[in-house]
Amino acid sequence: MTNSKIRKVAVIGTGTLGSQIAIHSGYHGYDVSAYDADPESLEKVLQMIQIRIANSNRKPVIPLREIQRQAKKIKMGKTLEETVGEADLVIEAIPEDLRLKRETFKQMDLHAPPKAILATNSSSIPVSRIESATRRPERCLNLHFYSLDLGRNIADVMGGTKTTRQVLETGKEWVRSIGCVPLTVKKELLGFCFNRVWRAVKRETLHMWAGGYADFKDIDRGWMIWTGMSQGPFGIMDAVGLDVVYGIEMVYYNESKDRKDYPPAALKRMIQRNELGVKTGKGFYAYPNPEFKKPDFLKP
């Protein structure tokens, strides 16, 4: 089922999340083009997705072979300009950095058709902070997806200061059309809908670990037994990417200026050692065979 107002989707940034948005759009019949500053990004992400799926007991929203097949069909552009030229919807999934996102939105606005909707997949930045980089704030919105490869088919949907009702409805309809459940944010909130719940878990568990109160593996054990999930918060953060987690925490800190929101220095040191999680083979756990997958991890 494709969305009546959207035929062509352009994705900017085909890393962990952008690749999945592009792949699912293609799977559901949209004409998909994409651009990434790193021409090898899709290839690297596909390898990572295989490891992520192998380490989870959750089924991907679409089978791995379809993920691989759809990835091959994405038209990778050489420039952002050529990629968005005919799009009805442009969704940005580049690193969590406000300056970079504003610059990218400016380019998206300059080169996409005037009718195109511009969306950000940001995990924490409200589109109200980005929309003024464009001449079409009424057509900008947050569409925040989760790991589709781990079966998380939800997306937070939030407007900016001028987003029209019609654009929000079209955004939600498009989210549904690619097999996801839209979670509507009724008034602007940092962290959106479900992502704010997950963020509270991240902040607490990171500080428990960094403060020496508990071993991260015990926190994960508790979570896994309590929720029945195959990974705990630290395993999930490894899958997200610790650099991405850090960037998100900094957005919250810059908002509150509360020291309790500042991400732990120990997390920063991991990033400086290139321990970014699944994508670099080492984070809290080592990959491709992390300890939480071993049969005795949850043994009494």
Ligand X SMILES: NC(=O)c1ccc[n+]([C@@H]2O[C@H](COP(=O)([O-])OP(=O)(O)OC[C@H]3O[C@@H](n4cnc5c(N)ncnc54)[C@H](O)[C@@H]3O)[C@@H](O)[C@H]2O)c1
The binding site for ligand X (CB under 6 A) comprises 12-18, 35-38, 41, 93-96, 100, 104, 121-123, 144-147, 240-241, 244, 248
Q: Minimal distance in Å, beta carbon 71 to ligand X? A: 13
Q: Minimal distance in Å, beta carbon 139 to ligand X? A: 19
Nearer to ligand X, 181 or 298 (CB): 181
Burial label, 102 (beta-carbon count in 10 A; 0-12, 13-18, 19+): middle
ω into 264 cis (within 30 of 0): no
- How are the residues of the chain apportioned to helix, strand and coil, as percentages rounded to the nearest 5? 50, 15, 35
DSSP string, 101-157: HHHHHHHHHHHS-TT-EEEE--SS--GGGTGGGSS-GGGEEEEEE--GGGT--EEEE
Nearer to ligand X, 42 or 62 (CB): 42
Q: Minimal distance in Å, beta carbon 241 to ligand X? A: 5
Q: Minimal distance in Å, beta carbon 272 to ligand X? A: 16
Q: What is the largest CA-CA distance in the chain?
A: 60
Q: Minimal distance in Å, beta carbon 52 to ligand X? A: 10
Nearer to ligand X, 60 or 241 (CB): 241
Q: Minimal distance in Å, beta carbon 125 to ligand X? A: 7
Nearest Cα to 233, choosing from 250, 209, 254? 209
Residue nearest ligand X (C-beta atom): 15
- Identify whether the C-beta of residue 77 lies closer than 8 Å to the C-beta of residue 35: yes
Nearer to ligand X, 64 or 76 (CB): 76
Helices 41-54 and 16-27: angle between axes, nearest 10 degrees: 90
Nearer to ligand X, 97 or 188 (CB): 97
- Identify whether the C-beta of residue 123 lies closer than 8 Å to the C-beta of residue 248: yes
Angstrom CA distances, 100 to 51, 103, 279, stand at 29, 5, 22
Angstrom CA distances, 72 to 42, 60, 62, 67, 110, stand at 9, 18, 15, 9, 28
Q: Minimal distance in Å, beta carbon 222 to ligand X? A: 22
Nearer to ligand X, 88 or 238 (CB): 238
Nearer to ligand X, 6 or 244 (CB): 244
Q: Minimal distance in Å, beta carbon 148 to ligand X? A: 10
Please, what sign has the CA dihedral across residues 116, 111, 142, 162?
negative
Nearer to ligand X, 68 or 166 (CB): 68
- Identify whether the C-beta of residue 279 lies closer than 8 Å to the C-beta of residue 48: yes
